[in-house]
Amino acid sequence: MKLLVLHWEGRFHRFYKSGLTIYRNHKEFVTMIQILLLFIGVIWCALLYILLINKASTEGYFLRKANNSLDNTNFSYRIVKADILELKQKNREKITNSDLYGPSLGLLDATIESVVIADTSQHAVR
């Protein structure tokens, strides 16, 4: 058993010594490889940041902007809808409270001008 351990220890020692010799002979080359690997790692991290984190925050910004536009449009729609319902109720009251043979009823016109809806198709999140 002792012989087997010494055999592997000798092989490990020779391998380690040859690695040190190669490192000493090619020190500049190994340093350049280390710098290159470090540079590639930094570029990789920067690309991951740009592709994942920055993209997600940009999409979130445009989503919030589109939701705000939608909320404003819904608010305008509800105001117009309330105005139309109020006019319909006034017309209904005039019809129910007037006599059939009296003067003209003078009903209110329930046509409302169009509501401007902002075009958000260019900022659609895909």
Per-residue pLDDT at 68: 93
Q: Is residue 109 assigned to a domain?
A: no
Q: Helices 27-48 and 2-25 meet at what angle, rounded to 10?
A: 90
Task: Count the domains in the chain.
Answer: 1
Q: Which domain holds residue 36?
A: 2-98
Both structure tokens of 16: 């380690």
Q: Is residue 79 assigned to a domain?
A: yes
Share of the chain above pLDDT 70, in %: 70
Residue owning tokens 């930094």: 42
- The Cα–Cα gap between 31 and 35 comes to 6
Q: Which residues contact 80 (CB under 8 A, 6 or more apart)?
A: 112, 115
DSSP letter for 41, please.
H
Share of the chain above pLDDT 90, in %: 25
Global confidence as pTM: 0.41
Q: Is residue 121 assigned to a domain?
A: no
Q: Is residue 75 assigned to a domain?
A: yes
Q: Is residue 61 assigned to a domain?
A: yes
Q: Is residue 114 assigned to a domain?
A: no
Lowest-confidence range among 42-46, 48-52, 68-72, 80-84? 48-52
Measure the N-to-C terminal CA separation of the chain; round to a whole number of Å: 67
pLDDT tens digit sequence for 80-105: 999 999 988 888 888 777 665 555 55
Q: Is residue 120 assigned to a domain?
A: no
- The Cα–Cα gap between 117 and 120 comes to 9
